[in-house]
Chains A and B, each alone.
Chain A
Amino acid sequence: MRIRILGNLVILGATVVLSYGMQVSKPHYADLTAPIPADGAMHDTIRARSFDVRLDKVVFARALKTNQFGRQKLLTTSGLWAVVTTSLTATAASTTVADGTWQGPTGLRYHQTERLGYRQDMPPHGVDPGLEKRGLLVFEIPPDQIRGASLLIAARQFGPLDAQARISLDGLPTSADGQPADVLPEYDLDAPPPQGKS
């Protein structure tokens, strides 16, 4: 009789411990439905589900020169502008690549800027299979978010369980205090491509 009660207590205790453990270790819904990363480095071609992307160049600038509604505008920022040039190709069918995020070393996420308004060469980028296309992404970031950062590129902003290219930006030249080695005073978005280095 006593052994049976003891046995029941042990079973009850084990159930409580097991249930608590399962509750504590339950994965977040956000993690279960998170985008699926495709990792890579600068200058590598990374194959996401619907597009391939290669990060060609990152240029830092203090100001951006752009044409808005026929008016020259000089956009300044409290941090730095990062102009990222990528090459995009669709894998199987024509599609769009719309989302870019600069993820700092501590996980802060800087979404691509909305201050440029509508421009032909800004996301969403229409891409086609077999045709390589230059795709620009522009970010506003503080200078301390450059070392150890990575770039996240996805077809759309909220794409659960879709692929997300995750490009490590360790190859960027920075000085000892983490500042970028080369910062242009001004980047002209309407000038023909080769500007700056890196």
Chain B
Amino acid sequence: MFRTARSKVQTWITAGAGTIAALFVAGLMGAFGALPAHAPPQLPLDTAIDAGRWRVQPVRAYVSHAKVYGVLMKPGQKALVLEADMTNRTAQSDKAYFDVFKPDGLALPDPMPMIALTRDETLTPELHPGMTERMAYVWPLAGDAIVPASLSFGVTAEIFKPRDNLYGMPGWFNPYRLGTITLPVADVPATGS
């Protein structure tokens, strides 16, 4: 009688060990997940920032009331413009720079910016490895939107995986917020053009 009870307990423990371990690990992960996350750091403006596949150096930000770098605006709209020097850090020509910058705390009619090469107003050209080009991110805004004098932009980066989980191909995945840059925003009134 006593012996059978002991073996029963043993069986229960043996069979339940996996479940107990799983519950323990899940509880631990939950506890770590509930910790307050680190706020993304403030990034320096005077040095280039390595953000995943791009090396970026923000230059200036302003609000334009007229057509800027060939980007047309609807009547009554203005545009928030961020100019940055971008360098492709990867081994091949690429144009996946749409999500690198995002202004914080502004209501954007369209979250996707228009991006132009400042050299000749080409819209969203591919950037080639190691060749730095100045790009202008243009977000159209409602004409009465209030833009603070100092605006922060979130910088998004991705991580490189030499083999992805599906095909084993190299690629850039898992975008995360690398940090924040804060720039003064000038207001450029419309000139005659």
Q: Which residues of A contact B (CB under 8 A)?
A: 28-30, 73, 75-79, 104, 107-111, 113-115, 117, 140-142
Contact = CB atoms under 8 A, between A and B. Distances in A.
Nearest to B120: A75
B126 A111 contact: yes
A110 B91 contact: no
Nearest to B167: A29
Nearest to B168: A29
Contacts of A77: 119, 131
B122 to A, nearest CB: 5
Interface in B112-155: 117, 119-120, 122, 125-126, 128-133
Contact of A114 (B120, B125, B133, B167): B125
A108 to B, nearest CB: 4
Contacts of A75: 119-120
17 contacts: A29-B167, A29-B168, A30-B169, A75-B120, A76-B120, A78-B133, A108-B92, A108-B129, A108-B130, A109-B92, A111-B92, A111-B93, A114-B122, A115-B125, A117-B122, A141-B128, A142-B131
Contact of B122 (A30, A115, A141): A115
Nearest to B170: A30
A28 B169 contact: yes
Interface of B: 91-93, 117, 119-120, 122, 125-126, 128-133, 163, 167-170
B128 A115 contact: no
A130 B117 CA distance: 41
A111 B169 contact: no
Given A77-B119, A110-B93, 11 more contacts: A29-B167, A29-B168, A30-B167, A75-B119, A107-B91, A108-B92, A108-B129, A109-B129, A111-B126, A114-B122, A115-B117
Contacts of B167: 29-30
B189 to A, nearest CB: 27
A29 B120 CA distance: 39
A30 B132 CA distance: 29
Contacts of B131: 77-79, 140, 142
A60 B131 CA distance: 17
A30 B92 contact: no
Which 9 pairs show the lowest CB-CB distances between chains A and B?
A111-B93, A109-B92, A108-B129, A29-B168, A115-B122, A29-B167, A110-B128, A30-B169, A114-B125
Contact of A29 (B93, B125, B133, B169): B169
Given A28-B169, A109-B93, A78 B132 contact: yes
Nearest to B134: A78
B91 A109 contact: yes
A104 B128 CA distance: 12
Contacts of A107: 91
A76 B119 contact: yes
A29 B129 CA distance: 24
Nearest to B88: A108
Contact of B120 (A28, A73, A78): A73
